[in-house]
Amino acid sequence: ESATAASIGNTGVDVLSSPALIGYLEHTCHLLVQPCYEGDEASVGTHVDVEHLAPGAVGRPVTVMAELIAQQGAVLTFEAQAAQQGKTLMRGRHVRRVINLERFGVKPSDARGERAREPTELAFWFDFNSPWCYLAATRIGDIARRHDARLEWRPIHLSNLMDRIQGRRLPTDNKAFVDWYRRDLRDWAEIEGLEVRYHPRHPLRPSRALRASLYAAENDVAEPFVLGVMRAYWQDGADISELDVLEEQARQVGLDADVISEVVSDDAYKAHLEDNLSDAAESGVFGVPTVVWNERIFFGNDRLPMLERALSRRST
């Protein structure tokens, strides 16, 4: 981002660059039709005609939607747009052409082998009461997209997990540990360009927010909803146990806010959250944030680079 900004004269502007947003649009169009390719086919972008309508904030989720609107032989035309918190950042058309991979030195057998491989699946376990989950949640979506991984957002009540597995709790009566912990959190937040402030009544009751995130996941907006709630809690000091806070976050991602009051008291969502707790314990999860991939556990915000390294090795 910084190198791109410098090259086009936008040094010091802390917003998403046009090339970055165009990249998101192109990649989304690619993913939309990828399942339709034959084993020796792929597609390449040939034309982009977009309008950059509004600035996008760095470190916040961007929702990209694409639709295939025309096909003429091997030429595919898409309409696409990128939005952030309900605001359209960029929209326009993108053209891709289906090509034969042999032209690029890839053997059809190699392509078929790649296609036969099972898709990468990541399970991200989180609780809103953990500031480390906030830090990790801002990064895990981009990691999944970089590696074409399917990401599942799995909310759990951390305190209940600790009771279930008889897990260890933080030694909050040890001053040296508390001082180190707070310093470490500030350092990591600074690295990621985030502000983290503890709510005066931390820990808040997370159950309503956890159930609402299940509803968001059912509607394919887990990432922006979870990040919005995390930001409201850890940056803005909002009480996420209050319905009006959750309803506002639902509106921000296009959900029906009036449904939230029903969701948070629905027995089905309560049972789903309990099922998540059992699944977490059976998967070996002992804390949050945790990412489980290929039965491997990556615990903690500071393990995300290790996860990405493992995913990179898989793709090569």
Q: Could you read off the pLDDT of 129-153 as tens digits, one per residue?
A: 999 999 999 999 999 999 999 999 9
DSSP three-state, residue 74? coil
Reported confidence tier of residue 116, pLDDT bands at 50, 70, 90: very low
Q: Which pLDDT belongs to residue 148?
A: 92
Q: What is the pLDDT of residue 297?
A: 96
pLDDT in tens, 262-279: 999 999 999 999 999 999
41 pLDDT tier (thresholds 50, 70, 90): confident
Can you tell me the mean pLDDT for 2-26? 68
Which parts of the chain fold into alpha helices (H)? 2-7, 18-33, 108-116, 131-146, 158-165, 175-191, 207-218, 222-234, 243-252, 260-263, 267-282, 304-315
Residue 42 has a pLDDT of 82
Is a pLDDT exceeding 50 seen at residue 112?
A: no
What proportion of the chain, given as a percentage, has pLDDT over 90?
A: 67
* Better-scored residue on pLDDT, 304 or 101: 304
The highest-level CATH class for domain 2-115 is alpha beta
**What span, in angstroms and rounded, lies between the C-alpha atoms of 161 and 214?**
17
pTM attached to this predicted model: 0.64
Tell me the two tokens of residue 197.
Answer: 């402030």
Domain limits of the chain?
Answer: 2-115, 121-315
DSSP string, 207-234: HHHHHHHHHHHHTT-HHHHHHHHHHHHH
pLDDT at 113: 46
Report the range of poorest mean pLDDT among 147-151, 170-174, 249-253: 170-174
Lowest mean pLDDT among 25-29, 91-95, 210-214, 278-282: 25-29
CATH of the domain spanning 121-315, picked from 3.30.590.10, 3.40.50.10490, 2.40.128.280, 3.40.30.10:
3.40.30.10
Considering only residues 4 and 263, tell me which one the structure prediction assigns the higher pLDDT: 263
Whether residue 254 contacts residue 224, with contact meaning beta carbons closer than 8 Å, is answered with no
Residues in the chain, total: 316
Q: Is the Cα torsion angle 249, 253, 254, 260 positive or negative in sign?
A: negative
Question: Does position 188 have pLDDT exceeding 80, yes or no?
Answer: yes
Q: Which range has highest mean pLDDT (92-96, 170-174, 222-226)?
A: 222-226
pLDDT computed for residue 105 by the predictor? 59
Residue 239 has pLDDT above 90, yes or no: yes
State the pLDDT at residue 166.
Answer: 87
Query: For position 198, what pLDDT does the model report?
Result: 95
Percentage above 70 pLDDT, the chain: 89
Tell me which of 110-114, 124-128, 169-173 is least confident.
Answer: 110-114
Instruction: List pLDDT tens digits, range 277-303.
Output: 999 999 999 999 999 999 999 999 999
Q: How far apart are CA 213 and CA 125, in angstroms?
A: 12
Least confident of 18-22, 224-228, 262-266: 18-22
28-32, 190-194, 214-218: least confidently modelled range:
28-32
Extract the tokens encoding 6: 């410098």
**Among residues 124, 71, 64, 59, which one has the least CA distance to residue 89?**
64
Q: Which residue has the tokens 């989950």?
A: 133
- pLDDT at res. 235: 96
